[in-house]
Amino acid sequence: MSRPVEADVVVVVPVYRNAPTLEELARRTLAALAPTGLTHRLLFVVDASPDDAWDLVCRMAGEEPRIQGLLLPTNQGQHRALLTGIAHSRARWIAVMDADLQDPPELLPALVEASAGSGMTAFARREGRYQAAGRMLTSRVFKSLLGLFLRMPADVGTYFVVPGKVADRMRRAPVRHPQVVVMARSFSPGWCGVPFTRRAREVGESAYSSRARWRAALRSLRCAWECRCARRVGEDAWTGADAPAPFRQTTRS
């Protein structure tokens, strides 16, 4: 395994059929973090994407040293891909976000500031109508129930910043059904939120069908239970989760 990605802030982005949005995402992410004065890296985890995303990441990494990439040879799913990226990162803060540009990279400095000031996970809290009414309703109902179990808001998703200590717990925890939102809350002493208006998807379609959403809901509940069990036994007893999927790292010219 090559050396980890190191910086004050590492932004981990899972990639599956997202080639059309990657260049704009990279440009806006780096531009948003540049004024903070913090060293930062953008890590694309390409989850065996069938499009030309990997070639594009390799080209961007060759042109911009703050961009790096991991290629998973087989599709692992969004949350295992994210956990692989987190496991390969060492930073004061690790940010997680999707690649479809529904979540604005310009919110990253506020999330980092909120996490730095609180020492907790900072979630981006979604506002607005960004998907069909039926999907909005089922999502909110499930997340409300999950929120009661975890004491977390129902309007959050895979856009958050965790302190390095929380990221370390996430990468070490013996969790077999990872769901990074659940883990980011479970292994943090608390949470804080930064509201934003989420955009409707403009490019491509969600990979989550109705059936996939139910499977994701079940995985979230399993993960919440496993996180609770892990906290009960204590970190000294953790042996680590399943090993991350193998990857290839980008080369630079």
DSSP secondary structure string, 64-114? -TTEEEEEESS---HHHHHHHHHHTEEEEEEEE--SSSSS-GGGHHHHHHH
- The H or E element spanning position 154 is none
Per-residue pLDDT of the chain (253 residues; tens, 9 = 90+): 467 889 999 999 999 999 999 999 999 999 999 999 999 999 999 999 999 999 999 999 999 999 999 999 999 999 999 999 999 999 999 999 999 999 999 999 999 999 999 999 999 998 755 555 555 555 565 556 666 666 777 788 899 999 999 999 999 999 999 999 999 999 999 999 999 988 765 555 555 455 666 677 788 889 989 999 999 998 988 875 544 444 445 434 3
Residue at 138 is within a domain: yes
Residue at 31 is within a domain: yes
Sign of the dihedral through C-alpha 102, 106, 112, 114: negative
Residue at 253 is within a domain: no
Residue 198 has a pLDDT of 81
| CA–CA dist 87, 242 (Å, integer) | 11
Going edge to edge, which strands form the sheet with 40-47? Answer: 191-197, 121-127, 156-163, 89-96, 5-15, 40-47, 67-72, 248-249
- The H or E element spanning position 122 is strand 121-127
pTM (2 d.p.): 0.85
Residue 210's alpha-carbon distances to 134, 139, 207, 213, 221, in angstroms, are 10, 11, 10, 5, 17
Residue at 248 is within a domain: no
Report the DSSP pairing between strands 40-47 and 156-163: unpaired
DSSP states along 163-211: EHHHHHHHHHS--SS--HHHHHHHTSS-EEEEEEEPPPP-SS--S--HH
Q: How many helices (H) and strands (E) does the chain have?
A: 8, 8
Question: Residue 139 belongs to what domain range?
Answer: 5-236
| CA–CA dist 68, 72 (Å, integer) | 14
Residue at 241 is within a domain: no
Residue 217 has a pLDDT of 76
Closest by CA to 158, choosing from 48, 23, 13, 17, is 13
CATH code, domain carrying 131? 3.90.550.10
Cβ contact 91:74 at 8 Å: no
Residue at 39 is within a domain: yes
Residue at 78 is within a domain: yes
Tally of domains within the chain: 1
Residue at 119 is within a domain: yes
